[in-house]
Copies of this chain bind each other. A is one copy, B any other.
Amino acid sequence: MPAARKAPKKAARHTAAEPSPLAAEAFADLLKLDLQLCFAVYSTALAFNGVYKRLLDPLGLTYPQYLVMLVLWERDGVSVKEIGRLLHLDSGTLTPLLKRLEAAGLLQRSRDRADERQLQVTLTAQGRTLRERAQTVPLGIGSACGLQAGELLALRDQLLALRQRLDTAAE
């Protein structure tokens, strides 16, 4: 019995005539909850970053750099646009990040012959090798989270659904 998905509990929209003080109060509480949810997401992201820092410092990577390496380990020779699409980051963020990874000797940036506008991002031998040293990272994150598979899955999916709505709202 999955509880009517559209039950309009929200008492929403009563700009004009207020139904009752009680409903207005409940509505205000709901609004506060939204803010609190956002803050929970925000501060959890910062906390994750703190854990990742400890795990990634030995590899010389930041978390966003690690994300880029994950993309490349999965599929080498990607364009900046594709990386941005996968990670929800724009080229203004990625260009300097990729240059740092190139300077660190982990990847190479070269223009696509077929379309010179595009940049082909390819791993170097060193970049491929780093993958092995990075094997322990998920273990460290897993133990820091300390959640069961079910919880993990549910939380991830709720967040992704939320992100979708937020992206839509931001047009």
Count of interface residues, chain A, beta-carbon cutoff 8 Å:
62
A32 to B145, CA, bound (A): 12
Copies of this subunit: 2
Contact of A67 among B10, B39, B135, B137 (CB under 8 A): B39
Instruction: Assess whether A46 is interfacial by the CB under 8 Å rule.
Output: yes
A169 partner residues in chain B, CB cutoff 8 A = 51, 143-144
Q: Assess whether A104 is interfacial by the CB under 8 Å rule.
A: no
Return chain B residues, CB-CB under 8 Å to A44. 41, 45, 159-160, 162-163, 166
Interface string of A4-34 (1 = CB under 8 A from B): 0001011001000000000000000111111
Proximity bits, A145-170, B CB within 8 Å = 1, else 0: 11111011101101110110111011
